Chain A
Amino acid sequence: MSSTTTSSGLARARKGLAPGGSGGGTGNRKSKLSAQTSRTFFWLLLPSVILLVLIHGYPLFQAGIQATHDGNLIQTGDFVGIENFQQVLSSPAFWKAAQFTLLFTIVGVFGSWAVGLGLALLLRTKIPAGGTFKVLLLLPWVVPIVVSSTAWNWLVATPESLIPSIFRNLGLGTPLFLADPTLAAVTVMIFKVWVSFPFMMMMTSAALASVDNTVYEAANMDGASRFQQFTQITLPLIARSTYISWILMTIFCVNDFPTIYLLTGGGPVDATTSLVVLAYRTVFQDFATGPGVAIAFLMTVTLVVVSVILYRQIRKSSVE
C-alpha cells in the first residue's frame, strides 16, 4: 500500500494522524492528509471487517431468514413469518428456560461478585504468601470447563460420590445433587459461581489497587468505622469497574452453554435448561431449526438492546 504513495503524501499522512496536528496546513491540504491516513487505516481494518461480516454479520442475517422459515439443518423450508416466534413465545418450555436463565444470571453475577469482592478485599491486606493465593484462586477460571465439570460430576453425581457420602456420614441423608430438580439448579449455580468468581476477583483487585490509601487514613482520622469506609469509600471508588464487571458477567451468564450442559445436560426434567441449552437442543436434537433460531434470535435482540444501552453508559461515565 505504501508503495503507491509519494513521499509528500506520506508526510501529510503522518501529520494527519497526529491528534489536532494540522501543522499549519490549509483546509484543502488537511483533507488530503486525512485521506492518506484513511487509506492506511482502511487496509489495517479490512481483515477485521471481513471476519466480522463473515462470522457475525452473515450468520445474523441468515438467522433472521431461518427464524422466519420452517425447515431443518439440511433445507430451509417455506416462509412462515412470525410463526416460529409465536410458537416459541407460547411454549411453556421457553418461559421456563427464560426464568431459569434469569435466575442463573442473577445468582451467577452477584454470587461471583460477592465472593470475588470478599476475596479481593481479604487479599488486599497483608497476608503471608498472598500472591500465591491470588494465583491459586484463579485456577477455577483457567481450568477448562470440560475438566472442572468432570470433576464436579465425580464429586456429586451419584449417591456413592464423595459429597453425598459426606452428607450421609453426617446423618444428613443422601442428597441427589443432579437428580433432584431443585438441587440440580442450585448445584449448577454454585458451579457457575465457582467458575466465575476469579474473574470478579481480578477485576476488583485491579480496581482496588488504584484506590489511594490516603483516603482511608483521612477516614480513620475522622473516626469512620470499617463498615462505613467500605460502603462510603471503597464501593463508590470501584463503582465503574464493578459496573463493567456486572455487565460482562451478565453477558457471560446469559450466553453460557457448557457450564450447564456439561454438568446436567439441562435436566433433570428440564430444571436446568437455560435459553442457550434450549436453543441448542431444539436445533440439534429436535432438528427444528426455525424455533431454535427464533429462541437464539430473541436472546440476541435482548442482548443487543442491553449492550447498546450499557455501552452508552460506559462511554458516558468515561467522559466524567
Chain B
Amino acid sequence: MSAVLHAHPESGPALGITPTGKTRRTLSEAGMRGRWWRFALILAITAIVLVPIMVTVILALTPAPNSTTTGLTFENITGVFTKTLAGVWLQNSLVTTLSTVIVSVAVAAPAGYVLSRGRSKAVSGYSLLLFVMQSLPIITSVVPLFILFAAMGLVDNLMGLTIIYVGSTMTVATWMMAAYFDSIPISLEEASWIDGCSVFGSFTKVVLRNSLPGILSTAIFAFLLAWNDYLVAIVFLRSNEIFTLPMGVQSFFQQNLTDWSGVMALAVIMMLPPIIVFAALNKYFSVGGIGGSLAGR
C-alpha cells in the first residue's frame, strides 16, 4: 500500500483520477440507473461546494454598481491593475513563489537522496527531526525570526519572505523527495557506477534525471504553500509596494469594504495561477504528495 501512495507514475493513480476500470457489477438496467442517480448526487454536491468560487468569478466579471457597462465585463480586472498596485503585488508573489519553488527543490532533492539511501542512525535521526519540525506552529519561529531579520534588514523584504518559505517547505519537500527516490531502484545507479560514475554523479545523472514526477510534485507543493501563505506575509510585510497578493487582497478589502467587484477581481487574479498549475500538472501530484511521502516511509 505504501508504494501506491508514492508520487510515482507507475505506482499510483495520480490524484486517483484514473478510471476505476474494473466495475464490480455488470451494467444492468438497474446499474445504469444507479449511475445516473450518483451522477446527479455528485453534481449537486459539487455545485454547492463550488458556490464560493463561482460567486468570486461572477462578481469579478459583473459590472461594478457605479459602472455604466452591462453584461459580463473585464473592466473590474483591468480596473484593479490601473487603480491599485495589483501588478506589483502579482509580480512580488510570482518572484517569491518561484524562488521558493526552485530553492526548495534544490535543497530538498539532495537531502531527500541522502534520506532515501542513507542507512545510518544520523540519517534516520535527521529524518525524525524534519518530521517534528514540519509539525511545529510557524508562529513560534516567526517572532524570533522577525527580530533577527529586522536586524539584518530582511523585514519588508521579499528575500526575507522567501527564506522563511523555503525553510517551511523544505521539511515536507525533503520527505516527498525521499519517498520518490525510494521508488527508484538502486540497480540503475549500480550500472552507472560500473561506468565510472561517482555517487554524486549517479545522483545527478541517473536519479535526478528519472525524478521529474517527484520533482514536479514537490514543486507544486512548495508553490501552493508559498503562494497561499498569509501568516508570514502579514508579519513580515509592511509597505504596499512590497506586498504579495494575499496582503494586497486584504489591504484592498479593508480600504474599500464596499467595492466587492474590485476585491473579487483581485481574488480571481490570485486564484488563477494555482488552478493553472494544478490543471497542467495534477497528474504528477498524487495524494497531495505530503501524505503519500509520510505513508511511504
A and B from one complex: yes
Q: List residues of chain A with CB within 8 A of the CB of B203.
A: 40, 44
Contact of A318 among B2, B13, B170 (CB under 8 A): B2
Whether, in the assembled complex, A231 has its beta carbon less than 8 Å from a beta carbon of chain B, the answer is: no
With both beta carbons as reference points, the residue of chain A lying nearest to B129 in the complex is identified as: A52
Contact of B15 among A59, A122, A205 (CB under 8 A): A205
- Residues of A close to B231: CB separation below 8 A: 257-258, 280
Interface size of B in residues (CB-CB distance below 8 Å): 120
- A206/B16 contact (C-beta < 8 A), A40-B198, A55-B164, A136-B50 known: yes
- The listed residue (A11, A126, A143) touching B20 by CB distance below 8 A is A126
Q: Which of B70-78, B186-194, B211-219 contacts A (4 or more CB under 8 A)?
A: B186-194
Contact B5 A144 (CB under 8 A): no
B83 at the interface (CB under 8 A from A): no
Question: CA of A139 to CA of B246 in the docked complex: distance in angstroms?
Answer: 17
Residue of B nearest to A75 (CB): B147
Given the interface pairs A58-B148, A146-B246, A146-B250, the reply to whether A13 lies near B199 with Cβ below 8 Å is yes
Contact with A along B252-285 (1 / 0, CB 8 A): 0100000010011001101100110011001000
CB 8 Å contact bits of B153-174 with A (1 = contact, 0 = none): 0000000000110111011001
A18-B249 contact given A48-B170, A58-B144, A62-B148, CB 8 Å threshold: no
**Contact residues in B for A271 (Cβ distance below 8 Å):** none
Contact B230 A262 (CB under 8 A): yes
Asked whether, in the complex, the Cβ of B13 is within 8 Å of the Cβ of A14, the reply is no
Of the candidates A54, A73, A300, A314, which one forms a contact with B294 in the assembled complex, judged by CB atoms under 8 Å apart? A314
Binary contact readout B281-294 vs A (1 if CB under 8 angstroms, 0 otherwise): 01000111011101
Q: Which residues in window 124-145 of B have CB below 8 A to A? A: 126, 128-145
- Can you name the residue of chain A whose Cβ is closest to the Cβ of B189? A17
Query: How many A residues touch the partner, as a band?
Result: 35 or more
Enumerate chain B residues within 8 angstroms of A228, measured Cβ to Cβ: none
Given contacts A128-B39, A210-B4, contact A140 B53 (CB under 8 A): yes
Q: Contact between B270 and A144 (Cβ–Cβ < 8 Å)?
A: yes
B51 within 8 A of A: yes
Q: Which applies to chain A's interface (DSSP): helix, strand, loop or mixed?
A: helix
| B260 and A154 form a contact (CB under 8 A) | yes
A186 within 8 A of partner (CB):
no
* Interface check A27, CB cutoff 8 A: no
Name the segment of A79-87, A88-96, A167-175, A248-256 touching the other chain. Answer: A248-256
Provided the pairs A48-B107, A133-B42, A162-B55 are in contact, do residues A308 and B144 lie with their beta carbons within 8 angstroms?
no
Residues A142 and B294 in contact in the complex (CB < 8 Å), given A123-B42, A154-B59, A202-B287 = no
Interface positions of B (Cβ within 8 A of A): 1-2, 4-5, 12-13, 15-20, 22-24, 34-36, 38-39, 41-43, 45-46, 49-53, 55-56, 59, 106-108, 110-111, 113-114, 117-120, 123, 126, 128-148, 150, 163-164, 166-168, 170-171, 174, 186, 189-190, 193, 196-203, 224, 227-228, 230-231, 235, 245-246, 249-250, 253, 260, 263-264, 267-268, 270-271, 274-275, 278-279, 282, 286-288, 290-292, 294-295, 297
What 9 A-B pairs have minimum CB-CB distances, sorted nearest first?
A55-B167, A205-B16, A62-B144, A14-B193, A59-B141, A48-B111, A44-B110, A151-B52, A210-B4
